[in-house]
Structure 1
Amino acid sequence: MLDTGSDQAVIVDSVWASRWDLPGGLRLLRTSVLKDPRGARYETRVVVAPKLRIGRFELDSVPTMVLGSLNPTRMELNFLGNDLLKRFNIILDLQHDYLYFKPNKLMGVRYKELS
């Protein structure tokens, strides 16, 4: 999913992270606790994923927030946030059900979490 309200680069679901052994041996940047509007607390870890591939584009050292518990929807959801999305011009072709990503001038900008 594209999360245009998030200032994170990538957010991955706890179930998906467990299946792929994340955060595994990845460098830990920080831990934090998020609260939803109902007051439920969610522990998270932000790690550095060495590579992320979107189509033919490869990004290096991508800060990735790993949720530590099930998300409230109980559905497996992973998100691309604005710290990653801002690096691309994106075209939504709803008629043909396609997303087109084209790198822009922000591709080389440091990620917020790494600054």
Structure 2
Amino acid sequence: MRSVYFYMLTLLLASLGISGASVFGQTVIPFTLSDHNNMLVKAVVNDTDSLHLMFQVAMKDASLSPQRTRPAKTLSFHQGVSAGNTVQIAGLKKNDITFFDNELSGPGSDGKIGTGLFAGKVFMIDYDNSQFVVYDQLPVLEGYQSIPVHIRGEALFVDVTSFIGDSSLQHSFFLQSGYSGGLLYDDTFSAEQHLDNKLLVKSEKTLKNSAGASVTTKQASLGQMKIGETSLQNMSVGFFVGNLKTQPFSFFGADLLKRFNWIFDADRKTAYIRPSKYIDAAPFELK
């Protein structure tokens, strides 16, 4: 009897366009992928303020941008910090969220929201369907490969192999969904590997860090890179040049993140990845 009921329920849900995830205790949160590869969600803060926030895998808390266009009247800051706030995004409501003031965010957003939204839970970044899915336990992982995640403070790092000249160089990269490009090498790696001489430089770009300071990078093309067992060709990479080098960590940016669907376990020590519909997309060119 149960199997017949389950079958009929599945057919009904499919006809209504509802996934089983939303019925059996999992929460689905839609996001919009912007032209800059940023994931934007609609949030209600303290049951009052409607904000568009950029999801930032590189942080746990939240922040407001000085360039925001929507008011945040319920957020009261003391020395740049507003604690004890409530944030609701789709069917997920979290209490005791801390906001920091005046941190730059992606275009079209009023600020950022981090992984604290999913604290203690397994979560998926499903680029195929432009949604996050929050789970109480790991879902079926068919088609996914596992990769280790290294935690440093609030930052999540993964290992990537870069094929440069005759060398295959494994290096640790900070998952950074706020950086629209591909790989961004840190200053030490860039200097030690003489990237300016070994990579075909396509252009120079000026970017701003979260404090608003300008930094100059060179953009190049990397013939091959590898994460887990998956190889990617001709991805865009950047590195700092000149006296303004201030990059202590290498970034695994949003243009690479979107090429996979990601599942992070509850303790954030393992990620499971599977190629998304963007796996063969043209490399994003920073402007």
1:65 lines up with 2:243 in the alignment: no
Aligned to 2:274: 102
Aligned to 2:252: 80
Name the aligned partner's letter for residue 280 of structure 2. G
Q: Please tell me the root mean square deviation across aligned C-alpha atoms, in Å.
A: 2.1
Q: Distance in 2 between matches of 1:40 and 1:109?
A: 31
Q: Distance in 1 between matches of 2:213 and 2:177?
A: 22
Aligned to 2:140: none
Name the aligned partner's letter for residue 45 of structure 1. K
User: Displacement, 1:96?
Assistant: 6.4
User: Displacement, 1:95?
Assistant: 2.7
Higher relative contact order (CA 8 A, sep 6+): 1
The residue correspondences of 1:1-115 to structure 2 (distance < 5 A) are: 1-36=174-209, 38=211, 40-68=213-241, 69-71=244-246, 76-95=248-267, 97-113=269-285
Q: Which has the larger radius of gyration?
A: 2
Secondary structure (helix, strand or coil) at the match of 2:222 reads strand
Q: Distance in 2 between matches of 1:96 and 1:41?
A: 32
Residues 107 and 46 (structure 1 numbering): CA distance in 2 closer, same or farther, change over 3 Å? same
User: Displacement, 1:99?
Assistant: 1.4
**TM-score normalised by L of structure 1:** 0.83
User: Displacement, 1:16?
Assistant: 1.1
Equivalent pair of 1:15/1:70 in contact (CA under 8 Å): no
Q: Distance in 2 between matches of 1:96 and 1:109?
A: 27
Name the aligned partner's letter for residue 281 of structure 2. V
Equivalent pair of 1:51/1:58 in contact (CA under 8 Å): yes
Secondary structure (helix, strand or coil) at the match of 2:198 reads coil
Q: Provide Cα deviations, 1:32-88, integer angstroms capped at 9, x if missing partner.
A: 22234655332210011111110100000010011224326xxx3011111111000
Equivalent pair of 1:87/1:105 in contact (CA under 8 Å): yes
Residues 38 and 81 (structure 1 numbering): CA distance in 2 closer, same or farther, change over 3 Å? closer
With 59-68 and 31-40 compared, the bigger mean Cα shift is at: 31-40
Name the aligned partner's letter for residue 59 of structure 1. L
**TM-score normalised by L of structure 2:** 0.36
Q: Distance in 2 between matches of 1:37 and 1:9?
A: 18
Gaps of 5+ in 2: 1-173
User: Displacement, 1:18?
Assistant: 1.3
Name the aligned partner's letter for residue 42 of structure 1. V
